């Protein structure tokens, strides 16, 4: 594991409430604005969406409910555990996959998705050298 990966995972720790971040304070404004932009620019369902760094699924789950096929990838195992637990609450609209992964080394085949959401990694990969580095 690289130092940048370790730093991100430690940042979120076991007690970090990422799944609640967008439902209070300025997070509510961020989420509302992002949802407006997604509604405006996403293709109509049933498009395939890859949510890279999607945390616990704040955008992935609502998009699945709208009829999209959504794959969620996040570096933080804790986020993935929570997303899997949350998926039990919407079994009618499941995510296509929920996996631990690094934004710099995606396992999806080229041209296998219609849209890539890339919000979370932009918070953490702020240095060019980190963004262009290949994950190990």
Range of the domain at 83: 3-132
The total of structural domains in the chain comes to 1
Q: From residue 134, give the alpha-carbon distance in Å to each of 4, 58, 62, 78, 130.
A: 12, 26, 31, 23, 8
Torsion of CA 123, 129, 132, 136, to 10 degrees: -90
Per-residue pLDDT, 124: 67
pTM of the model: 0.84
**One pLDDT digit (tens) per residue for the chain, 136 residues:** 677 767 776 666 666 666 677 888 888 999 999 999 999 999 999 999 999 999 999 999 999 999 999 999 999 998 999 999 999 888 899 999 999 998 888 989 999 999 999 987 777 677 787 767 666 5
- Residues 113 and 59: their CA atoms lie apart, in Å, by 16
- For residue 67, give the CATH number of its domain: 3.40.50.150
Per-residue pLDDT, 20: 77
């Amino acid at each position: 594991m690289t130092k940048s990966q370790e730093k991100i995972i430690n940042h979120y720790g076991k007690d970090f409430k990422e799944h609640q971040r967008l439902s209070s304070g300025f997070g509510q404004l961020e989420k509302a604005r992002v949802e407006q932009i997604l509604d405006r620019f996403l293709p109509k369902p049933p498009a395939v969406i890859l949510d890279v760094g999607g945390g616990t699924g704040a955008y992935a789950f609502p998009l699945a409910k709208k009829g999209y096929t959504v794959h969620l990838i996040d570096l933080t195992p804790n986020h993935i555990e929570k997303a899997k637990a949350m998926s039990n609450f919407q079994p009618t609209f499941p995510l296509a996959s929920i996996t631990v992964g690094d934004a710099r080394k995606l396992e999806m085949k080229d041209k296998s998705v219609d849209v890539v959401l890339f919000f979370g990694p932009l918070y953490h990969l702020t240095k060019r050298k980190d963004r262009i580095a290949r994950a190990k």
